Structure 1
Amino acid sequence: MTAAAQLQLRTYTIKDGMLDAWLDLWHAEIVPLRRAHGFEIGQAWVDRERGQFVWLIGYAGEDGFAAANTRYWNSPERERMPLQPEDYLVRSEVRDVEPA
């Protein structure tokens, strides 16, 4: 991650039995599209016992994370994506974080 990036740590609780399907779609669809929209993807972790997926995402553009995130969600590529979060996620927690 670049030093100037705004960072978010995201924790998703995935519906029972859907964690592997979520991971496949995250790797194949979300990561490439996020990167195409200028986001940096950091580490990602799976807690199978709790059914959780945790990942770090950053954005260093002058327009800010929120503007880039809106563009991502409104993009034609995102609208065509087979993945809809409500199909997979029970809950999500998003935290703005910074390096210690």
Structure 2
Amino acid sequence: MKTIQLRRYTLVDGEYDAFLSWWQGSMPRVRPEAGFAIEFAYGLRETNEFVWAVSAPGDQDAFLALEATYMESDARAAVFAGVPQRVAEYNVRFVDDFA
């Protein structure tokens, strides 16, 4: 069993390329090191959006416990240090996996 979180962002105008560069250089390293798997990631340049999914083994409670540890980690703090706010709106939800 795994839990999947869908993360949809509307990016700050003019920050699309900078966000993608930062994300590609950071998340594929830091999230798996913290016990997560990145299921997919897509950018929608026309609408200034970025959509990705991250998963972790277990139920939602296990995911939330892992996420709490990740949010407080030095590794996460390091990849966000000095990075300007590039996300204007977050929409983060758990999804049902039917595959």
Q: Cα RMSD (Å) of the superposition? A: 2.0
Identity of aligned residues (%): 32
| Structure 1 residue aligned with 2:9 | 12
1 CA distance for matches of 2:57 and 2:83?
A: 24
**Cα drift, residue 51 of structure 1:** 0.5
| 8 Å Cα contact 1:13/1:52 also seen in 2 | yes
| Structure 2 residue aligned with 1:98 | 96
TM-score normalised over the length of structure 2: 0.87
2 CA distance for matches of 1:47 and 1:30?
A: 18
Task: List gaps (5 residues or longer) in structure 2.
Answer: none
| Structure 2 residue aligned with 1:65 | 63
Moved over 4 A (4+): 83-86
Q: Deviations over 1:51-97 (max 9, x none)?
A: 00000110005771111111111011111224578611100001211
| 8 Å Cα contact 1:25/1:83 also seen in 2 | no
